[in-house]
Amino acid sequence: MFPNIDHKELPRALQHIMERGRSTTAQAMPRRSFLKLTGALSLAVGIFPDLAVAQSTDADEAAASLKPTEQPSAFVQIAPNGEVTVTINRLEFGQGVQTALPMILAEELDAEWNLVRSQLGTNDMAYVDPLFGMHLTGGSNTIKNSFTQYRELGARVRAMLLAAAATRWNVDVSTLRTEAGAVLASDGRKLGYGELAEAAMALPVPQKIALKDPKDFRIIGQPTRRLDAQAKSSGQQSFGIDFKLPGQLTAVVARPPVFGAKIASLDDSAARAVKGVKAVLRVPLDRGAEGVAVVADGYWQASQGRDALKVEWDTSAVEKVDSEQQLAQYREMASRPGPRQFDSDMVPLETAPLKLEAEFVFPYLAHAAMEPLNCTVRLADDRAEIWMGSQSAGPDAAAAAAALGLKPEQVVLNVQMSGGGFGRRFSSTYDTVVEACEVAKAAKAAGLNAPIRTLWSREDDMRGGYYRPMHLHRARIGFDGQGNVLAWDHSIVGQSILTGTVFEQFMVKNGIDAATTEGMRNPYPLPMRLTVHHPKANVPVLWWRSVGSTHTAFVMETLLDDIARATGQDPVAYRMRLFGDQHIRHRDALQLAVDKSGYGKTQLSEGRAWGVAVHESFSSVVAYVVEASVADGQPKLHRVTAGVHCNLAVNPLTVEAQVQGAAIMGLSMCLAGSAITLKDGVVEQSNFSDYTVARITDVPKFDIHIVLSAEPPTGMGEPGLPPLAPAFANAIARLTGKPLRQLPFNLA
Partner 1 sequence: MGSLFGWSNPGEPTGHDFTEYQGREHEVDVDPETPILWVLRDTLGMSGTKFGCGAALCGACTVHLDGEAIRLCSTPISAVESGKISTIEKTTDGTDRVGAAVHAAWVRHDVAQCGHCQSGQIMSATALLASLSPGAQPTAEEIDSAMAGNICRCGTYARIRAAIADAASTLV
User: Of 93-112, which residues contact partner 1 (CB under 8 A)?
Assistant: 93-96
697 touching partner 1, by CB under 8 A: yes
CB of 274 to partner 1, least distance (A): 9
CB of 697 to partner 1, least distance (A): 5
Residue 130 or 420 with smaller CB distance to partner 1: 420
Residue 113 or 702 with smaller CB distance to partner 1: 702
CB of 672 to partner 1, least distance (A): 16
Alpha-helical (H) ranges within 20-141 are 31-38, 49-55, 57-64, 97-109
Residue 125 or 520 with smaller CB distance to partner 1: 125
* x-marked contacts with partner 1 along 261-290 as a string, rule CB under 8 A: --------------x---------------
Which of 363, 387, 373 has its CA nearest to residue 461?
A: 373
Which stretches does DSSP call E strand in 286-373?
290-296, 310-314, 340-343, 354-362
Q: How many CB atoms lie within 10 A of CB 408?
A: 20
* x-marked contacts with partner 1 along 301-320 as a string, rule CB under 8 A: x--x----------------
**HSE-up of residue 170 (Cα within 13 Å, Cβ side):** 0
**HSE-up of residue 140 (Cα within 13 Å, Cβ side):** 26
343 Cβ contact list (under 8 Å, min separation 6): 529
State how far the Cα of 56 lies from the Cα of 167, in Å rounded to an integer.
16
* Choice from 237, 329, 567, 591 touching partner 1 (CB under 8 A): 237
State how far the Cα of 434 lies from the Cα of 397, in Å rounded to an integer.
9
State how far the Cα of 132 lies from the Cα of 134, in Å rounded to an integer.
5
* x-marked contacts with partner 1 along 15-54 as a string, rule CB under 8 A: --------------x---x---x-----------------
Interactions with partner 1, residue window 444-483 (CB under 8 A): 457-459
Interactions with partner 1, residue window 571-590 (CB under 8 A): none
Stretch in the footprint of partner 1 (CB under 8 A) among 16-24, 438-446, 534-542, 658-666:
658-666
120 touching partner 1, by CB under 8 A: yes
Size of the site for partner 1 (CB under 8 A): 77
Interactions with partner 1, residue window 334-373 (CB under 8 A): 368-372
Stretch in the footprint of partner 1 (CB under 8 A) among 17-25, 175-183, 594-602, 694-702:
694-702
**HSE-up of residue 334 (Cα within 13 Å, Cβ side):** 22
Paired residues of 532 in beta bridges: 492
* Choice from 252, 560, 657, 732 touching partner 1 (CB under 8 A): 657
Q: What is the DSSP letter of 662?
A: H
Paired residues of 76 in beta bridges: 86
Interactions with partner 1, residue window 393-422 (CB under 8 A): 412, 414, 417-422
* Choice from 14, 134, 475, 664 touching partner 1 (CB under 8 A): 664
393 Cβ contact list (under 8 Å, min separation 6): 25, 91, 121, 122, 123, 127, 135, 413, 415
Interactions with partner 1, residue window 625-654 (CB under 8 A): 653
544 touching partner 1, by CB under 8 A: no
Paired residues of 365 in beta bridges: 468
Question: DSSP readout, 270-313?
Answer: HHHTSTTEEEEEEEE-GGG-EEEEEEESSHHHHHHHHHT-EEEE
Interactions with partner 1, residue window 672-691 (CB under 8 A): 687-689
Decide: 86 and 116 in contact? Cβ < 8 Å: yes
* Choice from 199, 209, 699, 735 touching partner 1 (CB under 8 A): 699
Helix (H) or strand (E) segment spanning residue 705: strand 701-706
Interactions with partner 1, residue window 158-217 (CB under 8 A): none
